[in-house]
Amino acid sequence: MLNFILCVLGLRLFLSLAKYAWTVVMRIGHPRLASVKQDFSLEPTVSILLPCFNEGPDVYNSIRTILDCDYPLDKFQVIATDDRSRDDSWEWLQKAAVDFPGRVVARRNPKNMGKSRTLIDASHESNSDIILVIDSDCIFAKDTIRQLVSCFADPKMGIVGGTVGIRNPNTNSLTQVQTYVYFLAFDLWKTYENWTKSVTCVGGYLLAIRRHLFEQIEPKILTRNWFGVEVVEGEDRYITHHALLLGYDTYVNTKARCWTNAPDKYPQFFKQQYRWRKSGVRDLFLTYKLLWSHLGTVHPNGIYCSTIAPLTLLTFTLGIFIAPHFDPLFFLHPITLIISMAIGAVLHLIVSKHFPDQKIANPLTFAFFGFWWIINSFYLTVLSLLTLDFSDWGSRTKRRVKRPGQ
Amino acid sequence: MNLENIRPAINSSVLMLYRVFAIVSLYAVLAGVLVFGLGSAFYAGSKTWVAPVILSQSDKDTLDLIGKTLTTQDTVDDLKLDIGKLESTLAEARSHKANLEKILPAIDTAIAEENRHKRETGPVLANLGKQKTADVTSTQSALAQSADVDASIDKELAAGLITKGDANQAKLSFVKSTGDLTDSRIATTLLKDTIWAKTLPSMTYLDTLHKQAELESEIACLGIVIDTALKQIVTERNQVVKLDQALKTAKQTPLWAAMQGARTNVALVPYDNQAVAKQGAPVYDCYLSFVACRQVGVIKATFVGEQHTTHPIFKTDLRGFLVQLELTDPDSAKSKTLFVGSKPLLF
């Protein structure tokens, strides 16, 4: 059994190294391999769906940056929905609707309904060609919308995402680590999946989807359940997955950038990571359930990314589970620290050079990533596997009250 | 029956089973993490735990020790035998040397006596030789002067001056004197030999000196043999002492105890916990790692010498020394850890 696990872990390591090596080759030497045809003359109408829950004034700032985009004013609108926040978010939305008349629609759910349902209801308020889903605390670059819609030149393109940076990279060690993780996730991992236009998860922080495709998937979103228990989280991964199953391409345009606030408190961070991991676990089950449908529809690389990679992660989780039996202090091993520091040093150099706004003050905090990675891989995976019958958004529940004008 | 009609029931059943499994698993994981955390904290702070080890004759280390012990014992026996031989040789050499050393003065005395005798008789004989030579010369001269005596006797006989009997008597006397002269000459020659023997070193004397030299050489060689034997005996005795000490030390190890019996229960005492490891100290075993404990024996003996093993909990290298356990419950030796002195948590 142990040998089997070690073999799987070795295979996983080999595949990961090959994947990253190929990603680096594409990023540095052959960027066109991981890019799509863009047409910047495209100007479809865009509805920006902004679900909001306990965001406070951040949602107003977010709306303001969106409206500063260089996209034709008559071609896009913001539909902001308050999901019954317990703070003053609704008042900030109303203020935005007043300050930007005709361009911002402020809505409020009759009760807390979750992000999925909020998005669907909000989408019914518009008839634009493209639906752009964003997080309520996101701020945009000026060309973000144009970068996104330009990728829809190919009619086979179903979903386009962007990359997200951290607005608060130097708040504390937690946000510093997340800065690196976000860079790894969006600028490396997504690049590999971009290669075959089969990104398995376009993040809900910035997800542009053709309206008709969204409408096709909508019934499935509404009926998502885990043996009868409604599922409310991970709609971005779910939507992306079904877009792939319907034969569409999915893509992340790394030039379409936005920034979000990373959790700076451990409970908040834990809940966010837990939610993400749980949606990944759900997606793995969905993949195996519909595995036959993938064949011939989804690119083999997409199938690999949806099946093998998460499966080896589960094996890795098992490896961590049994590791204490052989070496309980393995996570304190100098090699763990050294590898973390080495990866951190490389990432720090790259991030500092290419993304100055993401430069962090103390790169040594990356050592912390090694420990978090173990906790994330083991405990969160196990917790996710065993709590699939439980849905909770989690990371935005803190009540913050700051009235507009204050 | 339509599947959709029974789907809620199926979902409900699956969900219930899943929830039961999930709750049990989550609590198991949680309990595992808590136990691991508490256990780690406990063993990091505890000063009374020891790590039991079961030794038997078939253990690799025990077999190694048996081989080494036998080899060492053989070496000791060989050395002792060799020492015995050397001591016999030494005694014989000493006796022989003593005997030879007794002869040597006798030879010296004999030579000295002989030399003294020569010194005394040599000159006397030389003088006598000279005198004898002079006597012979005188006799020879006298006989030469009497060369014509025979003719005179004949003339006197013819002249009738002497009788025939007197003539014969006179002639016999002359012949006798001539014979005496010859005897004297012979005696003189023999005397010269004697004088030569008495005044010059003789072959016998040289032979004696040669034998004396040989004797002294032999005595010297025996001295060397004796010295060498003595040194070798000292060296080998030291070696025997060292090997005996090594064997004695080996006999103080638990592996020796394992050699003597079918199974020996020992425990490695980490240096951090050495204060509790005293002969006769009670040993406790716990049903749940470090709770629900009972006494299962005592420490029978402590052994010197550092030993290494793997930390039973943290799996790191653990340094310490061994103690022999006298267990009333032999199965306790199979526990991951035991506790010495007192129960770790008072129950």
ipTM attached to this prediction:
0.79
> Residue B87 falls within a domain, yes or no?
yes
Residue A232 Cα, gap to closest chain B Cα (Å)? 17
pLDDT in tens, A168-180: 888 888 888 888 8
Mean pLDDT of chain A: 84
State the pLDDT at residue A54.
87
pLDDT in tens, A213-266: 999 999 999 888 888 888 888 899 999 999 999 999 999 998 999 998 888 888
Chain A from 55 to 114: CB within 8 A of any B CB: none
Residue B39 Cα, gap to closest chain A Cα (Å)? 11
- Listed in sequence order, the residues at least 6 apart from B247 whose beta carbon sits closer than 8 Å to its beta carbon are B69, B72, B73, B76
Instruction: Categorize the per-residue pLDDT at B331 as very low, low, confident or very high, splitting at 50, 70 and 90.
Output: confident
State the pLDDT at residue A217.
94
Sign of CA dihedral B21, A381, A238, A397: positive
Measured between CB atoms, does A405 come within 8 Å of chain B? no
Indicate whether A405 pLDDT > 50.
no
DSSP string, B168-214: HHHHHHHHHHHHHHHHHHHHHHHHHHHHHHHHS--HHHHHHHHHHHH
Strand segments, DSSP code E, in A278-396 are none
- Residue B94 sits in a domain whose CATH number is 1.10.287
Residues B226 and B271 in one domain: no
Residue A238 Cα, gap to closest chain B Cα (Å)? 21
Mean pLDDT of B225-233: 92
Residue of B nearest to A378 (CA): B29
Mean pLDDT of A346-365: 79
Indicate whether A395 pLDDT > 70.
no
Indicate whether B59 pLDDT > 80.
no
Residues B157 and B211 in one domain: yes
Q: Which residues of B touch A389 (CB under 8 A)?
A: 15, 18-19, 22
Residue of B nearest to A390 (CA): B19
Residues B271 and B320 in one domain: yes
Do A327 and B22 make contact, defined as CB atoms within 8 angstroms? no
Closest partner CB to A329 (pick from B22, B29, B316): B316
> Residue B246 falls within a domain, yes or no?
no
State the pLDDT at residue A220.
92
> Residue B125 falls within a domain, yes or no?
yes
The percentage of residues in chain B with a pLDDT greater than 90, rounded to a whole number, is: 15
Lowest mean pLDDT among A110-119, A245-254, A386-395: A386-395
The percentage of residues in chain A with a pLDDT greater than 90, rounded to a whole number, is: 32
Residue identified by tokens 């034997």 is B229
pLDDT in tens, B125-177: 888 888 988 888 888 888 787 767 777 888 888 888 888 888 888 888 888 88
pLDDT in tens, A276-332: 888 888 998 888 888 888 888 888 888 888 887 777 667 767 776 666 666 666 666
Q: Distance between CA B159 and CA B152 in Å, rounded?
A: 10
Residues B201 and B299 in one domain: no
Q: Which residues of B touch A382 (CB under 8 A)?
A: 25-26, 29
> Residue B115 falls within a domain, yes or no?
yes
Instruction: Categorize the per-residue pLDDT at A17 as very low, low, confident or very high, splitting at 50, 70 and 90.
Output: confident
State the pLDDT at residue A403.
46
Q: Which residues of A touch B6 (CB under 8 A)?
A: none
Mean pLDDT of B196-201: 79
**Which residue type occupies A27?**
R
Do A227 and B14 make contact, defined as CB atoms within 8 angstroms? yes
Residue identified by tokens 């029956």 is B1
Instruction: Categorize the per-residue pLDDT at A369 as very low, low, confident or very high, splitting at 50, 70 and 90.
Output: low
Residues B268 and B225 in one domain: no
DSSP string, A82-132: E---SSSHHHHHHHHHHHSTTTEEEEE-SS---HHHHHHHHHTT---SEEE
Q: Which residues of A touch B25 (CB under 8 A)?
A: 382, 386
State the pLDDT at residue B265.
80
Number of domains in chain B: 3
Q: Which residues of A touch B313 (CB under 8 A)?
A: 328
Q: Distance between CA B69 and CA B80 in Å, rounded?
A: 16
State the pLDDT at residue A370.
65
Lowest mean pLDDT among A32-46, B96-110, B252-266, B291-305: B252-266
Residues B148 and B224 in one domain: yes
> Residue B57 falls within a domain, yes or no?
no
Q: Which residues of B touch A383 (CB under 8 A)?
A: 26
Mean pLDDT of B258-279: 80
Residues B103 and B227 in one domain: yes
State the pLDDT at residue B115.
84
The percentage of residues in chain B with a pLDDT greater than 70, rounded to a whole number, is: 97
**B87 against A347, higher pLDDT:** B87
> Residue B168 falls within a domain, yes or no?
yes
Q: Which residues of A touch B11 (CB under 8 A)?
A: 225, 227-228
State the pLDDT at residue A393.
53
> Residue B282 falls within a domain, yes or no?
yes
Closest partner CB to A227 (pick from B18, B29, B316): B18
Residues B221 and B274 in one domain: no
Residues B25 and B105 in one domain: no
Mutant choice from A282, A386, A391 vs B, greatest count of B C-beta within 10 A: A386
Mutant choice from B5, B18, B311 vs A, greatest count of A C-beta within 10 A: B18
Residues B220 and B299 in one domain: no
Q: Which 3 state secondary structure label does DSSP give A366?
A: helix
> Residue B17 falls within a domain, yes or no?
yes
Contact A377, A316 (CB under 8 A): yes
Indicate whether A399 pLDDT > 60.
no
Residues B228 and B88 in one domain: yes
Q: Which 3 state secondary structure label does DSSP give B299?
A: strand
State the pLDDT at residue B62.
72
Residue B16 Cα, gap to closest chain A Cα (Å)? 10
State the pLDDT at residue B148.
76
- Listed in sequence order, the residues at least 6 apart from B63 whose beta carbon sits closer than 8 Å to its beta carbon are B57
Measured between CB atoms, does A327 come within 8 Å of chain B? yes
Residues B165 and B213 in one domain: yes
Domain boundary pick from B193, B211, B232: B232
Mutant choice from B13, B15, B25, B35 vs A, greatest count of A C-beta within 10 A: B15
Lowest mean pLDDT among A66-80, A181-195, A304-318, A378-392: A304-318
Indicate whether A397 pLDDT > 70.
no
- Domain of residue B316: give its range: 262-340
Measured between CB atoms, does A389 come within 8 Å of chain B? yes
Is this model's pTM higher than 0.90 or not?
A: no
Mutant choice from B17, B19, B317 vs A, greatest count of A C-beta within 10 A: B19
Do B15 and A227 make contact, defined as CB atoms within 8 angstroms? yes
